[in-house]
A and B are shown apart, each in its own frame.
Chain A
């Protein structure tokens, strides 16, 4: 891929990002930050290539270090997002849900 194709992808992705992010409901702005954090760790791709590189021990060592850092973020970011989103499940309201249902089923 030449530089211009890459720049085109980048520019269009910025516009996609602009519209997608404005559509995010303000109530979910914190999960938005934690999930963007997790996906920006796709930088792990570069870290993997570096850690498998040969010929320069320092380069592969730095790569492995970056794999550890990015993995903290990937696992941490996605699981903390999942934890938060689980709290936003539609709640059954204890006050307005009386008991007859339970009696009927048994």
Chain B
């Protein structure tokens, strides 16, 4: 291969390696909240190194013997590029500052779609002007291996783009979270995937415009088709999966450009998304294949409706709850996404502070699927100034319910449903859940007795002897409890 990468000065190659290493360190920092902020800075430094190195050696300034020598034309190009960075930077920074923490899943989905689209654009630019990317073989055509990498990069980028757009629309409420099930969808999907692979094979033999255009179009289509049948409850898996795809798209482009920083990053992001998808699937006891096949939540409510008979349940008032809470030794709060919807996290923390002042031990228990994306609930609690030392993961706290006076459930439902342990016919059977029924008292905040959880199943916890149903808007109820605690 006569590719031009050898003409890059060695310092540039080392700089790309350094930025790859800095990206590894930025993820490494996230192993603890204390080191995470430094990690984020490593990531920023890595990105700055990658951009400056590229500007100085490959674009717009051609590499000199040991130091670049720009001409006037190069400086004009440089100005255009800096303007493009400034525009994107302004949009990105303003969005990041303004976004509400409850909307993080949408933001991340939107960002994924941008990475995907950028990969498609870069792939097309490399196809249209292969000389710049030094991927021309001895025969004057694009090197066949580069064509495979390019085709894969464009295809994965396009899937990431259209898939993330649908995920964004579902999370943002522009589109119903209910699965849309086309007839024969598995046949259509598998056919489209086969077509994309076939076209990439064809592309190695024939580098005409229509082939790469067909790859792009088919990949946009499959991204769309893959996500529409997936229901709202499975969105955490989808967002993680698209995170993984955006990484593989970057890696494929890195193969085309022979760029170390891109390859290392692509591999990191790809594995990160894959691991998060695995964790989310495990937390719902669903197989990855069944999530991708879609349709979960389509029959919501139909099974639960008949089962719900007139079983007796007890209603409590804010005053009763306040009394029991203040008498408790240990309270475990189990927040769910409903808490975030009601914006009750701040007043909840106020309640916890009051209880702590009275000597009550207060802990928060977080289920991996408590929010709309991995770790979402932790961020929402952190925003409300809940100390992260008080927040525990499912497996770390589940053994403590037997020594707990009050399990305080707010905005959660399926994650405390004992049917997951006892009823093999339940749609959530096998999902790891909190053993709330072992607590002395259960307080369950719920808007009314009518609604059921995401999975559409009735919950035996409502009817237990030690359960006190607190029927009201979550925020209003916690405010009333705080008021009652003041007396």
Q: Using a CB–CB distance below 8 Å, which chain A residues touch chain B?
A: 1-3, 6, 9-11, 13-14, 16-18, 20-56, 58-60, 62-91, 93-96
Contact = CB atoms under 8 A, between A and B. Distances in A.
A73 to B, nearest CB: 5
Given A39-B47, A49-B133, A93-B387, A10 B255 contact: yes
A43 B20 CA distance: 12
Interface string B26-47: 1110111110110110011011
Q: Which of A37, A51, A85, A94 has the most CB of B within 10 A?
A: A37
A14 B24 CA distance: 11
A6 B119 CA distance: 19
Given A31-B375, A52-B59, A71-B88, A43 B119 contact: yes
Leading 8 A-B pairs by shortest Cβ distance: A71-B88, A29-B375, A76-B92, A52-B59, A17-B271, A75-B92, A13-B267, A50-B125
Given A34-B111, A72-B95, A60 B125 contact: yes
A29 B249 CA distance: 21
B341 interface: no
A46 B276 CA distance: 27
Contacts of A29: 276, 279, 373-375, 378
A80 B417 CA distance: 34
B60 interface: yes
B387 A72 contact: no
Contacts of A21: 27, 268, 271-272, 275-276
B190 interface: no
A56 B30 contact: no
Interface residues of B, number: 120
A98 to B, nearest CB: 12
Contact of B111 (A1, A54, A73): A73
A52 B114 contact: no
Nearest to B74: A52
Interface of B: 1, 5, 19-20, 23-24, 26-28, 30-34, 36-37, 39-40, 43-44, 46-47, 50-51, 54-55, 58-60, 74, 77, 80-81, 84-93, 95-97, 99, 101, 104, 107-108, 111-112, 114-115, 117-119, 121-122, 124-126, 128-129, 131-133, 145, 239-240, 243, 246-247, 249-251, 253-273, 275-276, 279, 353, 356-357, 366, 368, 371, 373-376, 378-379, 382-383, 385, 387-388, 391, 393
Contact of A46 (B40, B96, B257): B257
The DSSP consensus for interface residues of chain A is helix
A41 B239 contact: no
Contact of A48 (B24, B26, B54, B104): B54
Contact of A36 (B97, B122, B273, B373): B273
Contacts of B55: 48
Contacts of B51: 44-45, 48
B50 to A, nearest CB: 5
B267 A25 contact: no
B54 A95 contact: no
15 contacts: A6-B263, A9-B264, A10-B266, A21-B27, A25-B31, A29-B374, A30-B373, A33-B239, A33-B375, A40-B247, A41-B250, A48-B58, A72-B95, A76-B92, A83-B97
A43 B33 contact: no
Given A40-B266, A52-B59, A78-B43, A67 B114 contact: no
B253 A43 contact: yes
A72 B88 contact: yes
Given A27-B391, A38-B43, A87-B385, 19 more contacts: A29-B375, A30-B376, A33-B108, A36-B273, A39-B43, A41-B115, A42-B261, A44-B54, A46-B125, A46-B133, A48-B55, A49-B59, A52-B77, A59-B132, A69-B121, A73-B92, A73-B114, A85-B33, A96-B356
A30 B263 contact: no
Contacts of B34: 90
Contacts of A10: 251, 254-255, 263, 266-267
A33 B258 contact: no
Contacts of B125: 46-47, 50, 53, 58-60, 62-63, 66
Q: Which of B5, B27, B84 has the most CB of A within 10 A?
A: B84
B91 A72 contact: yes
Contact of A53 (B23, B47, B59, B115): B59
Contacts of B145: 3
Given A26-B378, A32-B27, A43 B249 contact: yes
B345 to A, nearest CB: 12
Contacts of A9: 260, 263-264
